[in-house]
């Protein structure tokens, strides 16, 4: 569980720092991540669900080793 939490935190940080995402895309993505954390969504679903939100998230997922 702790490993998943660390990956989610890493993902949140990468999204916040992403230069290729608009502020609106960042906000929307971070909102979804926060919702999923509350819902305790399986971590394995996060990359797939985020990719559906925006194709721009793929480089971030690749960068932090989730794809």
Q: Is the overall model pTM greater than 0.85, yes or no?
A: no
- pLDDT value, residue 53: 76
| Distances from the Cα of 49 to the Cα of 20, 62, angstroms | 19, 14
- Mean pLDDT, the chain, rounded, equals 82
Q: Is 67 exposed, middle or buried (0-12, 13-18, 19+ CB in 10 A)?
A: middle
pLDDT digits (tens, 9 = 90+) for 9-23: 888 999 999 999 999
What residues contact 22, with CB distance under 8 A and at least 6 apart?
A: none
Is the pLDDT score of 36 beyond 60?
Answer: yes
Rounded to whole angstroms, how far apart are CA atoms 46 and 63? 15
Is the pLDDT score of 62 beyond 80?
Answer: yes
Please compute the mean of the pLDDT values over residues 30-39 and round it to a whole number.
Answer: 82
Where residue 44 falls among pLDDT bands split at 50, 70, 90?
Answer: low
């Amino acid at each position: 569980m702790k490993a998943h939490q660390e990956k989610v935190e890493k993902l949140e940080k990468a999204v916040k720092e992403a230069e290729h995402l608009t502020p609106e895309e960042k906000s929307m993505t971070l909102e979804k991540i926060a919702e999923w954390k509350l819902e305790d969504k399986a971590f394995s679903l996060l990359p797939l669900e985020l990719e559906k939100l925006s194709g721009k998230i793929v480089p971030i997922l690749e960068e932090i080793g989730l794809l």
